[in-house]
Amino acid sequence: EIVLTQSPGTLSLSPGERATLSCRASETINNNYLAWYQQKPGQAPRLLIHGASSRATGVPDRFSGSGSGTDFTLTISRLEPEDFAVFYCQQYGSSPMYTFGQGTRLDIK
Amino acid sequence: QVQLVQSGAEVKMPGSSVKVSCKTSGGTFRRNTVSWVRQAPGQGLEWLGRISPYVGTRNYAQKFQGRVTIIADKFSDTAYLELSSLRSEDAATYYCAIDGGFGYFDPWGQGTLVIVSS
C-alpha cells in the first residue's frame, strides 16, 4: 500500500499570502495519478486537482498542482478567505487500492 | 448535473450491521464507478471499496475484506454499502463518490453519519 505523508500538519497564513502544501509518497505513483481535495467543516471533500496538475471544473486558477514520482505540491497563489480548510492528497496510481494523506489544515493567521 | 443523495444518519449497536444508500442522478450510474470513503470524527479519509454497476466488478480495501459489501441496483441507480460486525472504531461519516474511471472522486454525496453505541 502506498503511504502518503502530507506536510505541514497545520499551516497558518493570512489572506493574500501564498500557500504551499506538500504530499510525499512512499513509492512512485504511477502516471502521476495524484489528486487534491479541499474539505470545509461539515462538508464533503471537493476535488481540486487530478493527474497531479489538472484543475477540476470550476476550480479557480489560483489553485495549482505540481510534482511527479513521489513528491507533489499544491500551491494557492493568493489566499482568499474562503480557501481556509483542510486539504487531502489521494493517490490512484495503484488502482483500485486508493489511499489518502492525513491532511493539512490551512488556518487563518 | 450529477448528484448523489445518501440516506440518513444511523445509530447501531456494536456487533450489528449498517446499510447506507447512495442514489445517483444525471445518468452517471451507467458509465461510472461508485466508491465509498469514510471519515472518523476529526480524522482523515479512508477508502473502503468500489463498484462498477454495469461491468459488475467490486473491489474492497484489504482492511475491510470480509466485513464490507457494496452492491448496486441498476434500476434505481442506487449503490449500497453494508458494513457488518460494527465496533466503536467504525463510527464515522460515510461518503459515496463517483469515480469516473480514473480513480479520483467527483462529485461526492453529502455523507451519512453512523454512530456505534450500546
Mean pLDDT to the nearest integer, B84-91: 97
The H-or-E segment that residue B113 falls in is strand B112-116
Q: For residue A45, give the amino acid letter.
A: P
* pLDDT for B1: 78
Candidate from A46, A47, A103 with C-beta closest to B44: A103
Candidate from A56, A93, A96 with C-beta closest to B50: A96
Q: What does the block give as the cell for A28?
A: 512512485
Judge: A100–B45 Cβ closer than 8 Å, yes or no: yes
Judge: B44–A102 Cβ closer than 8 Å, yes or no: yes
* pLDDT for B75: 87
Q: For residue A65, what are the β-bridge partners? A: A74
Q: Give the residue among A46, A23, A43, A38 at the shortest CA–CA distance from A99.
A: A23
* pLDDT for B2: 84
Residue with cell 476529526: B42
B3-19 pLDDT, tens per residue? 999 999 999 999 999 99
Q: What is chain B's mean pLDDT, rounded?
A: 93
Q: Give the residue among A92, A103, A82 at the shortest CA–CA distance from A21.
A: A103
DSSP conformation class of A85: S
Residue with cell 464515522: B92
Judge: A98–B95 Cβ closer than 8 Å, yes or no: no
Instruction: Per residue of chain A (109 residues), give pLDDT as tens.
Output: 899 999 999 999 999 999 999 999 999 999 999 999 999 999 999 999 999 999 999 999 999 999 999 999 999 999 999 999 999 999 999 878 899 999 999 999 9
* pLDDT for A36: 98
Q: What does the block give as the cell for A86?
A: 483542510
Q: How far is CA A52 from the centre of its chain?
A: 9
A67 touches B at CB < 8 Å: no
The helix/strand/coil state of B4 is strand
In the predicted model, is pLDDT for residue B93 greater than 90?
yes
* pLDDT for B4: 95
HSE value, Cβ hemisphere, 13 Å, CA-based, for A62 = 13
* pLDDT for A97: 87
Q: What does the block give as the cell for B69?
A: 459489501
In B, which residues are within 8 Å of A45 by CB distance? 45, 95, 105, 108
B25-51 pLDDT, tens per residue? 887 677 789 999 999 999 999 999 999
Q: Give the residue among A2, A37, A7 at the shortest CA–CA distance from A104.
A: A7
* pLDDT for B62: 93
Which of residues 1 through 60 in chain A touch B, CB cutoff 8 A? Answer: 1, 33, 35, 37, 44-47, 50-51, 56
Residue A79 to residues A63, A75, B79, Cα–Cα distance (Å) = 9, 10, 37
* pLDDT for B30: 72
* pLDDT for B36: 97
Rounded CA separation B104/A92 (Å)? 7
